[in-house]
């Protein structure tokens, strides 16, 4: 396992979140109770239990790959980094999606890994 930092263009990580943020804000103003309910579901789903938050975020990242959801990929890649997931853990979680989803996962999987590495690089730079 390499520990060197690589450069990532950022097209599947922060850029996706930046694009979606104002759209979410606008819709949240129109349906605040729905967003509040989703927020509570999110909080309950990611509460530490028998599975830790890191594992849950890696599961969510993998589901984002299987669903082909760039916003899910970016959001959960960032959250997985924040929860302490490693590049190798992300790669292996993404690898399982190839088995479960086949060819489409080989497209969204590399995007997810790029997003994860982008956020990991930023976290490494911030802690240096």
pLDDT at 4: 39
What are 82's two structure tokens?
């924040």
Give the chain's domains with CATH numbers.
Answer: 14-127 (1.20.1290.10)
Is 73 in contact with 111 (CB distance < 8 Å)?
yes
For the chain, the distance separating the N- and C-terminal CA atoms, rounded to the nearest angstrom, is 20
pLDDT at 7: 45
pLDDT at 74: 95
Q: What is the pLDDT of residues 99-112, one digit of tens each?
A: 999 999 999 999 99
Res. 6: pLDDT tops 90: no
Q: What is the pLDDT of residues 16-63, one digit of tens each?
A: 989 999 999 999 999 999 999 999 999 999 998 999 999 999 999 999
Q: Which long-range contacts (CB under 8 A, 24 or more apart) does 42-49 make?
A: 46/79
pLDDT at 3: 37
């Amino acid at each position: 396992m390499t520990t060197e930092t690589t450069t990532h263009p950022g097209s599947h990580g922060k850029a996706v979140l930046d694009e979606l943020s104002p759209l979410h804000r606008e819709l949240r103003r129109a349906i605040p109770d729905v967003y509040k309910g989703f927020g509570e579901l999110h909080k309950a789903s990611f509460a530490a239990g028998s599975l830790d938050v890191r594992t849950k975020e890696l599961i969510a990242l993998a589901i984002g790959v299987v669903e082909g959801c760039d916003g899910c990929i970016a959001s959960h890649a960032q959250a997985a980094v924040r929860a302490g997931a490693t590049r190798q853990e992300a790669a292996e979680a993404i690898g399982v999606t190839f088995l479960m989803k086949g060819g489409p996962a080989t497209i969204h999987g590399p995007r997810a890994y790029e997003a994860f590495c982008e956020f990991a690089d930023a976290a490494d730079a911030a802690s240096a």
